[in-house]
Amino acid sequence: MEYEFRVIVEKVSVASQEVVKRDTVKIYDIRPPKSIIELGLRHEEQISLLTKVQNVLLAEQSALIDCGYDTCPNCGQKLKRNGFLQSNFHAVFSDHKLRIQKHRCNNPECNWQSTPTTTTVFGTDIHPDLAKLQCEQGALFSYREAQSNLEKINCSGRRINNHTRIKSLTNQVGARFSQETLREPSVQECAAPATELIVQVDGGHIPVKEKGKRSFEALSAIAYQPTNIEQVDQHHRQITNKTCVVSAIDDRLETIKSFVLNAAYKQGMTARTRITGLADGANNCWSVLRSLESHCQDLECILDWFHIAKKLENVKNALGEAFGESLNSVKWSVWHGEAQAALTKLRLIQDNVSDDVQQAKMQGLHDYLKHNLAYLINYEQRKSSGKVYTSQVAESHIDSLINARHKRQRKMQWTREGAHNVLQIRAKMVSQEWSKQWQDTVLDTLINAA
């Protein structure tokens, strides 16, 4: 006995449950599958079936679209139907044409006519779910890669997914998020008042389009409560709740300072909160952290141990095994809060180094520690007390936020504005705020753009 599989869509009266209309969308032969590839529907067939189902539903919905005209907007006379207008609608996986009812004024002296489209009725002809997908792809990949990825998802190219459109929408949504981040968060957006907060500020370099320059710096920050650090296993920890912000704007740190202040508020900062600030030692990072001082009870700035250890390791690799023990002694002194002793030891080592490159490495490390002398602490004591002294648990956010999108093997060049806008979406993703906030922002952007 042979069978076939029919996909049927029915329009049913809710009151009587009577089938008013029935459409056979697709008929499939049911045959014994000879391989795994014949099980179910192929990717392209699934998209095709979804498109057909969408067309049936949209045909019914478009007939019910209210264009908002009861009477003529010019003379107030009654309107009469005047045929239909074909209008574009771009769903997540497919493109469609809607038949929207037109109207004309019944007054022969007025003769006003409506020209309704998806955009004039709803503000946009792009479904927000598609725009969300475009923004996510644009924030995570190059715009051409984003276009290619969407073509693979759809099994075909679509003009609406052109890389230029993706770039434009991603920039517009990112710019809108930037404006929202400048706004002080409402009480509902903020966590309960926090006794302690950790704020880490760091930077990453982005290739620049500007002639004569190789890169510019984007500053990022992460704010979180110490109680939100969770032990994953013996060697790994994670932050369960955090707020990340980032700015590539060259405005004497005004934007990033506002971003960081609002991030701290979101994490529960009040005038009674004690803040531990971690940075890699750059002046601009300290400046951003110190801008919080007047908004909290106490601010303790600490030179991040993660960066100290990394710089010591780089020097150790440059000097070789012969100076390994001496540099370990320097590291021990810094770890135990004996900064002056560490500087003295570095000078003694430098006196025994003749190579110019090694001399420069030693001088760089000495200057780095001396420049940040005020931010060096007894790290061993702080660790024993169970207090934060390193950004290692949060350091990966720089890679995930900046480097993964803006530093790729292919040559990529950015304007500050373009990089800044993309980074806003990525920051929302890292902060786990994107899923909650994308809809209003994306929809507003689409409507305003239209």
Q: Which domain holds residue 311?
A: 191-406
Residue 408: per-residue pLDDT: 54
Q: Do strands 274-279 and 298-303 pair parallel, antiparallel, or not at all (unpaired)?
A: parallel
Q: 241-257 pLDDT, tens per residue?
A: 999 999 999 999 999 99
Q: What is the mean pLDDT of residues 277-294?
A: 97
CA distance 226 to 209: 39
pLDDT given at position 409: 46
185: CB partners within 8 A, 6+ apart? 262, 265, 266
Instruction: Flag whether pLDDT at 89 surpasses 60.
Output: yes
Q: How many domains does the chain have?
A: 2
Domain-embedded: residue 178:
no
In a domain, residue 442? The reply is no
Say if 23 falls within a structural domain: yes
Domain stop point among 36, 62, 88: 62
Cα(204)–Cα(215) distance, integer angstroms:
10
Percent of the chain exceeding pLDDT 70 equals 96
Q: Is residue 263, in this structure, part of any structural domain at all?
A: yes
Q: Would 214 be classed as within a structural domain?
A: yes
The three-class DSSP label of residue 236 is coil
| Distance from C-alpha of 23 to C-alpha of 12, rounded to nearest angstrom | 12
Give a yes or no: residue 443 inside a domain: no
Instruction: Give the pLDDT confidence of 335-387 residue by residue, as tens digits.
Output: 999 999 999 999 999 998 888 999 999 999 999 999 999 999 999 999 999 89
Say if residue 58 is in the same domain as residue 195.
Answer: no
CA-to-CA distance for 95 and 362, rounded, in angstroms? 63
Which residues on adjacent β-strands are paired with residue 299?
Answer: 275
Per-residue pLDDT of 136-172, as tens digits, reads 999 999 999 999 999 999 999 999 999 999 999 999 9
In this prediction, residue 103 has a pLDDT band, given cuts at 50, 70 and 90, of very high
- Rounded to whole angstroms, the Cα distance separating 79 from 113 reads 9
pLDDT in tens, 27-61: 999 999 999 999 999 999 999 999 999 999 999 99
Q: Is residue 221 part of a domain?
A: yes
Within a domain: 282? yes
At 207, the pLDDT band (50, 70, 90 cuts) reads: confident
Q: Is 212 in the same domain as 359?
A: yes
The pTM is what? 0.92
- What is the pLDDT, as a whole number, of residue 213? 77
